[in-house]
């Protein structure tokens, strides 16, 4: 299966004490490498993941968590007041938030799309567990 993540409503390159903000998709451990890094003022970033589905479980290099609680990490990286550049937030796109009928249709079609609003209610990069309505899942 292919999972397509479409980012919308990005927060911009400067938020709170951070500047030069970027966002990307984290690979699972041990590498923790961040792929597909884009500036946080990009118009509409898209990340594409190839995954394997085994029964009701989904696996892949960017799929995190335990069975039944899988998710995809989006890492926010920026430069703080001291000039250091590092990750300062991450969003967990929770796959348990995919509606059952959408998941079934995605299995049949081979593609699942998540459209995620990447700015929270305070104007900062979205973080923590992300489920609908902050992300809309479709086929």
Give pTM, 2 decimals: 0.94
H helical segments located in the chain: 100-109
pLDDT tens column, 91-138? 999 999 999 999 999 999 999 999 999 999 999 999 999 999 999 999
What six digits make up the tokens of 35?
A: 């792929």
Q: 82 falls in which pLDDT band (50, 70, 90)?
A: confident
Instruction: Decide: residue 57, CB within 10 A, 0-12 exposed, 13-18 middle, 19+ buried.
Output: middle
pLDDT tens column, 37-77? 999 999 999 999 999 999 889 999 999 999 999 999 999 99
Pairwise CA distance, residues 139 & 21, whole Å? 30
The pLDDT of residue 16 is 86
Pairwise CA distance, residues 122 & 110, whole Å? 36
Instruction: Decide: residue 67, CB within 10 A, 0-12 exposed, 13-18 middle, 19+ buried.
Output: exposed
């Amino acid at each position: 299966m292919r999972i397509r993540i479409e980012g919308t409503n990005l927060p911009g390159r400067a938020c709170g004490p951070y500047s030069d903000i970027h966002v990307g998709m984290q690979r699972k451990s041990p590498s923790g490498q961040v792929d597909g890094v884009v500036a946080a003022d990009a118009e509409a970033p898209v990340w594409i993941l190839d995954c394997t589905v085994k029964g009701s479980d989904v696996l892949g290099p960017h799929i995190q968590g335990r069975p039944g609680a899988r998710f995809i990490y989006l890492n926010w990286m920026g430069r703080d007041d001291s000039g250091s550049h590092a990750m300062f937030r991450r969003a967990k796109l929770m796959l348990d938030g995919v509606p059952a009928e959408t998941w079934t249709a995605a299995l049949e079609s081979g593609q699942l799309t998540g459209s995620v609003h990447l700015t929270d209610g305070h104007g900062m990069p979205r973080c923590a567990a992300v489920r609908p309505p902050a992300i809309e899942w479709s086929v």
